[in-house]
Structure 1
């Protein structure tokens, strides 16, 4: 089995600004596994929040001992054991595991969902995420990107201009709003000050308003917040589900943070066992990553898979969007 990796420099349709940084382009990678004329692809979307950089991904790729499976496609357990020998970035681990599973399913002529034990769903609604911008620019952005076609919008905010952005967007539309602060607030008190001002607006839920290490603040917030709270940055490849259930009402599982399909399924099922709502999200990714995430949407209550819409000249076309719904080709 041959493993290769290709760097993909992705230009973006607009600056992607969240509370902690702004991106004008993204560097992702495509993992390719080949065996006996068959091919499996997996995407890697490094996240600087978890100290993942393009340089680190390439260093980790060079560490891999490719002689282990030179002329054979191993069972998934053997491949997983091989992966676990390395201390890999979770996004790279997902790229490797997904490429392997795609290759295995191609070789065995089975559907990926059948292999994973999930229900195959080829189309679904998604929300659209709006980056942080000056409030006066929201109307032009809303019209330019025809955002009224989506049933729900996710609004990225920071603590400095959050309420102004919510107010402006609410003047433009009655769509449900999902507020995503990406850890912008610093305490229970200043977060509640913001939340108390949201009453006039059509808020569906709030995502990760505080830093993931503010456990006690989250416990107080869960008891006092009138909206559902969803964890994002607090959900990585390891989840203390009992603690998360004390802090949040739901989780946003992203495969790039879970480190693989198998662990992503485990996280989603564990969350549901503790009566947490589930969402499947994404990074800024090509349609390859979104195509992969669609294999797990049957385990999610909410779908946030619009990351490929940020990419200018998206290179693959594995997924398309029409009228706020995404379709797998």
Structure 2
């Protein structure tokens, strides 16, 4: 068994702005896990506003390398349980390791993960393409540069409704609106009324996760479905979200990987919630892992590789309005620079 760590700066095609801040590049960690002639790849973005760094993630995984080596022949789920007590405070590192282990496991068993899970990928949801907060002129320019049937529009300004109305003049594509918890309940309810006739599919996390009274009011009075994001981080959050949201957006890095992510999907289904899986700014390594989950989802946000100039891997790709799966096992990811 061998573990290597590769770090990259993913260069964004455009300065990416959300309510948390702006960035032009995104550091990311690739975990390369090898055993018995097979190699698995995992990824987690070093996201500053979650207090995550490449160095911290590497240190976390190195602390459990003896556990990994001793249990490398076990299933990804078994290894996750063994390492979780040591990595529970670093879910991004847990995600990168779990993703690599899943990829390795699929390759050892000679199948893509979705087939191992008994899923049919003939009909899967298409990702949205994210338009970050910017001047309206630049947001329109981004839409024109990347024609797509489905956009996620990042909001959280004083002029959000005016922005959506202006963007609507330039495309008939479906909009999903993500305010990143920047609205009040009163704003969100009023905005939902204004937006319901503008071909908006849903509102993603418009309120602060701590505003339970506001979320209750919005759930009752919103004219659009409301999807949890910042309110749905770990497995226990799914049940907590059920009274306040119509669906949940699951981020693999936040919950700790494919292992808990699949359990969260199952729980959301049991509760009658719509299910979305989202991404950070990551490469095709992460997008390929998300791609294995697509048959289980209603919505997906896996545009990470579409937003960067220097993708580092081949794998599950999105182009021509479709999801394209490689003829490879595991997640299907393959680093450009090391194979």
The TM-score, its normalising length taken from structure 1, stands at 0.91
> Per the alignment, in what secondary structure is the counterpart of residue 56 of structure 2?
helix
Q: Report deviation, 1:174.
A: 1.7
Q: Aligned residue for 2:177?
A: 179
Q: Aligned residue for 1:19?
A: 19
2:284 and 2:315 in contact (8 A); partners too = yes
Q: Report deviation, 1:77.
A: 5.2
Change (3 A) 1:78 1:196: closer
1:179 and 1:205 in contact (8 A); partners too = yes
Flag structure 2 segments of 5+ consecutive residues without an equivalent.
327-339
Q: How does 1:176-255 map to 2 (within 5 A)?
A: 176-185=174-183, 187-255=184-252
Deviations 1:131-179 (CA, angstroms, capped at 9, x unpaired) = 111012233222222x2xx222111111323122201111111221111
Q: Aligned residue for 2:331?
A: none
Q: Report deviation, 1:75.
A: 4.1
Q: How does 1:37-76 map to 2 (within 5 A)?
A: 37-66=37-66, 69=69, 73-76=73-76
1:90 and 1:237 in contact (8 A); partners too = no
Measured in 2, the distance between the counterparts of 1:78 and 1:278 equals 25
1:323 maps onto 2:320 in alignment: yes
1:300 maps onto 2:297 in alignment: yes
1:252 and 1:280 in contact (8 A); partners too = yes
* Alignment: residue pair count: 325
> Per the alignment, in what secondary structure is the counterpart of residue 285 of structure 2?
helix
Deviations 1:280-324 (CA, angstroms, capped at 9, x unpaired) = 221111111111001111111112211111111212121333222
Deviations 1:206-233 (CA, angstroms, capped at 9, x unpaired) = 0000111111110110001010000011
1:136 maps onto 2:137 in alignment: yes
Change (3 A) 1:202 1:108: closer
Deviations 1:93-140 (CA, angstroms, capped at 9, x unpaired) = 111011112112212323322434443458652211111110122332
Q: How does 1:249-288 map to 2 (within 5 A)?
A: 249-288=246-285
Measured in 2, the distance between the counterparts of 1:78 and 1:195 equals 44
1:125 maps onto 2:123 in alignment: no
Question: How much is the aligned-residue C-alpha RMSD, in angstroms?
Answer: 2.1
Flag structure 1 segments of 5+ consecutive residues without an equivalent.
none
Q: Aligned residue for 1:79?
A: 79
> Per the alignment, in what secondary structure is the counterpart of residue 92 of structure 1?
helix
Q: Report deviation, 1:202.
A: 1.4
Change (3 A) 1:126 1:76: closer
> Per the alignment, in what secondary structure is the counterpart of residue 98 of structure 2?
helix
2:288 and 2:317 in contact (8 A); partners too = no
Deviations 1:165-195 (CA, angstroms, capped at 9, x unpaired) = 201111111221111101111x312333333
2:84 and 2:94 in contact (8 A); partners too = no
Measured in 2, the distance between the counterparts of 1:178 and 1:10 equals 25
Measured in 1, the distance between the counterparts of 2:112 and 2:65 equals 29
> Per the alignment, in what secondary structure is the counterpart of residue 210 of structure 2?
coil
Q: Aligned residue for 1:156?
A: 154
> Per the alignment, in what secondary structure is the counterpart of residue 182 of structure 2?
coil
> Per the alignment, in what secondary structure is the counterpart of residue 12 of structure 1?
strand
Measured in 2, the distance between the counterparts of 1:58 and 1:215 equals 36
Change (3 A) 1:269 1:262: same
Deviating more after overlay: 50-59 vs 255-264 = 50-59
Q: Aligned residue for 1:311?
A: 308
